[in-house]
Amino acid sequence: MEIYRLFIDGIWQDGVMGTRDIVSPSTEKAVARIPVAGLVDLGRCLAAAVRERDPWAKTDVSQRAAILRRTAEILARKIPHTVRQMVGEQGKTLSEASDELDRSLETFLWNARQAEELCKPVHIDELRTLLYDPVGVVAAFTPWNYPAVITARKLAPALAAGCTVILKAAEEAPAAAVAIIEALHEAGVPRGVVALVFGDPPMISTHLLGSPEVRMVTFTGSTRVGKELAVLAARNLQTCVLELGGHSPVLVFEDADISTTVRAICEYKFEYAGQSCNAPSRIFVQRSRYLDFARQLVGLAAEIRVGPGEDPDVQMGPMIGPQGPARMQRLTEDAVEKGACLALGGHPLERKGYFWPPTVLTDVPSAARIMSEEPFGPILAIAPFETLDQAIELANLSSYGLASYVFTLSEKTQRDVVERLSGGSVSINILKGVAPDVPITGTGDSGYGHEGGQEGFRAFQSLKLINRTGR
């Protein structure tokens, strides 16, 4: 049983509201215990963050970058232990947890390398200069599905830019956030510059965003919660970066390499049981290749080995909790009732834990809920299209606009699709995770603002224009 603690003003401590157990999604048994923060704890976080705001902002950027580099070095030594913790808490496979931690190291190192360049003044001409100041105190909220890399995406640029940060990490998966904060503390981040809390999310967000001292909120999670945070932030005009849900389409044209496409979709879709906002979920295939595509996809998805993440032979673990399989069941039944064909899976595995097998639905009509509701699980909905115009129309029907994927060898089709697909990104003939040097953003119900890359770094800075007279 792992026992975690809050990190407030440089000290690891218990929460005033007691503790909560974390249940393994593979065994349904308690594997860890987290503290629950109260208003007193949050008040101390805020006081420390405000106290250290100006001293940290004035700390030389080279020193801040050095702390990020040391953090990555220390975190690298923690990977074996943290991997085991993440697998137990989340159900991730060993390779998924290890790969995610590697990406978090890359994120700290990239921001450390960029810090000095992105913090220096920009001279427009002899009379005008742009200064980039830290925004101040940041409230950061991270999700349970990728707690290592998303925590790194928020903390690394914020700290490098000179902000102080209060991190509310996911209660379901605390290990990664704890390991990162431990590494920052060991690397020499000053007391009060960063805090870590767990507890009741609505209470924490209401209290932090109710303070005018908090100048920015960065959140990754559901669209529903993101909208609630935006309302709270509006009262104090706090800047928001909101990375919310997704319902990513894949357009497969008749000239695509079907075998390569199917393999790419399966490898990315079923990572962490499909619990990713960037995961493909609506597959539209040109009619002439539709049957071949569906046959190959079902065959490959059926070979995926499902089980506890601790097993090195397992390729897909459980969903995070009982609500996941229940959602898969509801979406599957609704699609079949509306005329879809259940080609694979569709029923929970008869074993302890929250396991749902790879599921494929074919000939899914647009009226099915899975075509408009984010599944966030290991289920794929497939439908045919006739023309490029129809494919674009189907892809753009969703209120989400995060990621989309296209498979075609035609450069003309690629240009047409890129111009007309809505959303924050279009990937052509590839599906892969987002690197730290590029920004991600969404449109519509997928949120707004940038995370990652230079644009994500700039989100933690306020711009100041200096005008000078020529005399």
**Active site amino acids:** 243, 277
Torsion of CA 71, 77, 432, 319, to 10 degrees: -110
Contact 332, 361 (CB under 8 A): yes
Three-class DSSP category at 13: strand
**Sequence-distant (≥ 6) Cβ neighbours of residue 146 within 8 angstroms:** 100, 272, 276
What is the distance between the alpha carbons of residues 252 and 289, in angstroms, rounded to a whole number? 9
Of residues 47, 33, 41, the one with CA closest to residue 5: 33
Three-class DSSP category at 224: helix
Instruction: Give the torsion sign (CA, 356, 358, 440, 190).
Output: positive
**Sequence-distant (≥ 6) Cβ neighbours of residue 155 within 8 angstroms:** 140, 165, 167, 180, 184, 194
What is the distance between the alpha carbons of residues 467 and 471, in angstroms, rounded to a whole number? 12
Of residues 61, 148, 147, the one with CA closest to residue 112: 61
Structure tokens, 21: 């157990």
Q: Please name the helix (run of DSSP H) or strand (run of DSSP E) that holds residue 240, with its range, or none.
A: strand 239-243
